[in-house]
Amino acid sequence: MFAATLPILVNIFVAGMFVASFLTIAQLNPGFANIRWIALSYAFGLLTPLAELLLPLSPWPAPFMIVSYGGMLIGLVLMAPALSLLYSRQPYWGWAFGIIASGIALRVLIWGGQRNEFWYELLYQLPYAAAAFLCAATILRHGRKTGLDTAAASLFAVIGVHFLLKPPAAVYFGSGASALDYSKTTYALISQASSGVLLIGAGLLVLVNALQMVVLRDRNDAMSDPLTGLLNRRGLHAAFQKLTAQRSGLSATIAILDIDHFKAINDAFGHAIGDEVLRSVAECLEGNRPANATIARIGGEEFVLLTPWQEESLARLACESLRMAVRQLSLRKVDSVAVSIGFTPVAPGEDLSQALARADRALYAAKAGGRDRCVFEPLDGSLQSGRATLRLVQ
């Protein structure tokens, strides 16, 4: 067994595991199909240790030399656009193709050159270094600016520097008189081990990053209404818990906004137009809510406004502003849309269901009072109605 055989075998095994892992993630999460590009990057990278393992066994080394060089080059370069696609950004395809073309040109230039010479080794490693630096730059420009991104970008930068340190190491230790002799050298052992450790580290960071993004997407999907993109009841509950935990006394105002005569809209124009109305109202509410407020859809034509408590007049101002904003909507086929609103403060220690029940009583009173109005129910249960207390300036 040659000195470098064991690290070569380890690199083959680890690269294969990365390919399988990323393909599995992509298969189980259709929204992350772009992760297959990362698997493809490792599939190309896998060709390098595989070719170097088989090269000493073949009487025709040239094909294995080409595969060894090209596999690593394409795999490492491909990682950069794969990362951009993971972050849903446009890849730097021009830079990627430029590095691959330059790498091929340099390899042709030094083909048959004198090994163990500094310039030969430098021109051999330079495209690899450029590819690693492109990966680092891609993460810095396109990443989520998290600690994982910083660590991954830093490690790819270290990998780039490590490729630039290989030429003097090759000259010092000797990389073998020919490709056939390479795996017998101390330099091959150092090169394979160092590259393997660094690339495994980078792969693990990319893998953890991808898994984190999958988990966050799944959590966001679980808390979002698919039709409108607003928070759903689960998301509202999380926002309610966070807001009430931060404040003592009267912590919040909660309001239920219900689209008036929505069933008649569905019956007259169909569910497609009804869904369009829901999306338009949701967009209107989200665009006109107070900056510190949360809008959610809790089912059917019911929406919820959650905002920190200030006083009744300010809560009414927020609700009336939303009511009139909906009144001004211009919709296809539907002449006009209105909402009835019931709002109430949240008592200390009160849970979401209790607060919603009181707001729902206020909403029922708004409906009974003629719709298209706001009704406030204080904690003592006395109802206070209001309508059109604000006027739009035309």
Phi, psi dihedrals of residue 191, rounded to the nearest 5°: -65, -50
Give alpha helix (H) positions in the chain: 5-28, 35-54, 61-86, 93-110, 118-142, 147-173, 179-182, 186-222, 233-246, 262-269, 271-288, 312-327, 352-368
Query: What is the model's pLDDT at position 388?
Result: 46
Per residue of the chain (394 residues), what is the pLDDT tens digit? 455 678 788 889 999 999 999 999 999 998 899 999 999 999 999 999 898 888 877 778 788 889 989 999 999 999 999 999 999 999 999 999 999 999 999 999 998 888 888 999 999 999 999 999 999 999 999 999 999 999 999 999 999 999 999 999 988 888 776 666 666 788 878 888 898 899 999 999 999 999 999 998 888 888 999 999 999 999 999 999 999 888 777 789 999 999 999 999 999 999 999 999 999 999 999 999 999 999 999 999 999 999 998 889 999 999 999 999 999 998 888 888 999 999 999 998 899 999 999 999 999 999 999 999 999 999 876 655 555 444 444 3
User: What domains sit in the chain, N to C, each tagged with a CATH number?
Assistant: 5-222 (1.20.1070), 233-386 (3.30.70.270)
Phi, psi dihedrals of residue 293, rounded to the nearest 5°: -105, 165
**Residue 215 to residue 232: CA distance in whole angstroms:** 18
Query: What is the model's pLDDT at position 265?
Result: 93
Kindly write down the DSSP assignment for every residue of 38-96, as one continuous string: HHHHHHHHHHHHHHHHHGGG-S-HHHHHHHHHHHHHHHHHHHHHHHHHHTT----HHHH
Query: What is the model's pLDDT at position 10?
Result: 87
**Residue 306 to residue 21: CA distance in whole angstroms:** 41
State how beta strands 374-376 and 339-346 pair. Answer: parallel
By C-alpha distance, which of 87, 13, 79, 5 is closest to 42?
79
Given the residues 52, 301, 302, 377, select the one marked as catalytic: 301
Is 301 one of the annotated active-site residues of the chain? yes
Query: What is the model's pLDDT at position 373?
Result: 95
